[in-house]
């Protein structure tokens, strides 16, 4: 039941009408029931596992809060390790099984024919990180433990962010669940605007780009020389439009229900260096890793060498978090090296040049660094990375550049340019106070949607993570 499907719109409309005209207590019950129903559309087994994870982490949080200093640390470590193992079994066991098979084959043995039948529950990475952050915050006494089981279940089953995030902090979301919220016409209007624009860029930008990419990148062996210089930016805009679109939908739905979620993207393609880029892209994950891994390892308080070593470890973990495969690990190491390289240049004062030309070149370099890195998501063995380098030795010809895709990308570029000019922290709409202008833009957006978006729907890109 995708956000951009008629099925979801129908079910959510019925739910929202009941929610809007209900009392606070009934609203919470409706939220819980709709969250269970929404997630169960991807399988009852996954729903059972999610509820099991919720119950476990609620109990661990209670035990951390009530135990003495020594015992609470043991309970905390047990809770964190259990969550990591839970994620590891479902997400990484098959990959490790395949690595062992490859090692056995390389040593003269046979590849493993049998492998366990483990199905990855959708959204497991997001809600597991959700729960780990809760346990850390309770252990560090940054937030009080949530003693109301009903409220804690809603913390994990809040359907707008259940599948793909953002990885909302417990200190922001739980108080909103516990307190009574007012649903105003302004919130409904703004939330609907965000949701509509999220669906627009997902269906009419991300999906066509996805079809173009899949059509041209079947195998790295059969690619035209130099075509990856064109494919890489297409993948970058596809992933951005897809995940940014989902985030806008989640923020919009939450705002219609009276909640406020964190902004997950802040115009990342305007970043002029890798460090700035990761402060604007998938912000909920990058800040999660910064606060709960990088700073816990010592952050920038342990000397320049250790600081960068910690950074490499964080990006190695980022690669693993995104998926179980050789490409994800190489991708994490590659981006870590890019960040370390920039920090070394900055450390020696080489980047201290303030001019529009340098900034523009920095934006182009940062964009292509990220774009080319996304190609690593698609490799199935380390040797395929050499095929990427081989292709990039050449430059594309003019007839290889799909200028029609620039037309598809145009609305997203226009929106980001407007937001950059306004320097807003949240993707709000300047037409909120002008219904006539909003109606005109909505009509033009609908016309655009009808022209470039076929009826076929693509899954959200991050569902695979």
Catalytic residues: 322
In the structure encoding, which two tokens stand for residue 322, read together?
Answer: 């995104």
How many CB atoms within 10 Å of residue 20?
13
Could you tell me which of 294, 244, 239 has the C-alpha nearest to residue 266?
244
Mapping DSSP onto H, E and C, the string for 174-205 reads HHHHHCCCCCCHHHHHHHHHHHHHHHHHHHHH
Q: Is 97 helix (H, G, I), strand (E, B) or coil?
A: helix
Q: What are phi and psi of 217, to 5 degrees?
A: -120, 70
In the structure encoding, which two tokens stand for residue 422, read together?
Answer: 């306004």
Per the listing, tokens 């739980």 go with 174
Gyration radius of the chain's alpha carbons = 23
Instruction: Give, in order, the Cα–Cα distances in Å from 254 to each of 49, 75, 171, 178, 267.
Output: 24, 33, 16, 15, 21
Q: Is 235 helix (H, G, I), strand (E, B) or coil?
A: helix
Sequence-distant (6+) residues with CB within 8 A of 101 are 111, 112, 115
């Amino acid at each position: 039941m995708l956000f951009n499907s008629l099925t979801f719109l129908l079910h959510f409309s019925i739910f929202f009408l009941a929610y809007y005209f209900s009392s606070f207590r009934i609203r919470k019950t409706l939220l819980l029931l709709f969250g269970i129903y929404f997630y169960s559309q991807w399988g009852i087994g996954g729903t059972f596992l999610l509820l099991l994870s919720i119950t476990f982490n609620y109990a661990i949080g209670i035990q951390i809060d009530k135990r003495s200093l020594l015992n609470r640390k043991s309970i905390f470590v047990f809770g964190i390790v259990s969550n990591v193992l839970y994620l590891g079994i479902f997400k990484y066991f098959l990959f490790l099984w395949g690595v062992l098979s490859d090692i056995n084959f390389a040593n003269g043995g046979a590849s493993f024919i049998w492998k366990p039948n483990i199905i990855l529950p959708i959204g497991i990475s997001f809600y597991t990180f959700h729960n780990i952050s809760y346990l850390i915050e309770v252990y560090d006494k940054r937030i009080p433990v949530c003693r109301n089981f009903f409220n804690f279940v809603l913390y994990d089953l809040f359907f707008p962010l259940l599948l793909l995030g953002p990885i909302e902090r417990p200190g922001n979301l739980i108080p909103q669940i516990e307190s009574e919220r007012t649903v105003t016409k302004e919130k409904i209007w703004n939330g609907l605007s965000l949701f509509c624009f999220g669906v627009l860029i997902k269906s009419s930008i991300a999906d066509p780009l996805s079809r173009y990419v899949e059509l041209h990148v079947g195998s790295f062996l059969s690619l035209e020389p130099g075509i990856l210089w064109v494919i890489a930016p297409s993948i970058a805009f596809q992933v951005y439009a897809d995940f940014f679109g989902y985030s806008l939908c989640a923020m919009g739905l939450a705002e219609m229900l009276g909640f406020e979620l964190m902004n997950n993207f802040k115009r990342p393609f305007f970043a002029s260096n890798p460090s700035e880029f990761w402060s604007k892209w998938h912000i909920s994950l990058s800040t999660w890793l910064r606060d709960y891994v990088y700073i816990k390892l010592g952050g920038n308080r342990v000397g320049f060498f250790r600081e960068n070593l910690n950074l490499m470890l964080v990006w190695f973990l980022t690669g693993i978090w995104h998926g179980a495969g050789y490409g994800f690990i190489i991708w994490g190491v590659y981006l870590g090296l890019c960040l370390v390289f920039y920090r070394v240049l900055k450390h020696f004062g080489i980047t201290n040049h303030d001019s529009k030309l340098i900034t523009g070149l920095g934006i182009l370099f940062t964009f292509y660094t990220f774009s080319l890195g996304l190609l690593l998501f698609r490799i199935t063995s380390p040797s395929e990375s050499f095929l990427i380098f081989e292709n990039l030795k050449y430059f594309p010809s003019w007839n290889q550049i799909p200028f029609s895709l620039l037309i598809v990308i145009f609305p997203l570029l226009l929106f980001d340019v407007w937001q950059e000019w306004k320097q807003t922290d949240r993707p709000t709409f300047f037409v909120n106070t002008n219904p006539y202008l909003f109606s005109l833009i909505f009509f033009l957006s609908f016309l655009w949607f009808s022209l470039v978006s076929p009826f076929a729907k693509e899954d959200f890109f991050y569902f695979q993570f």
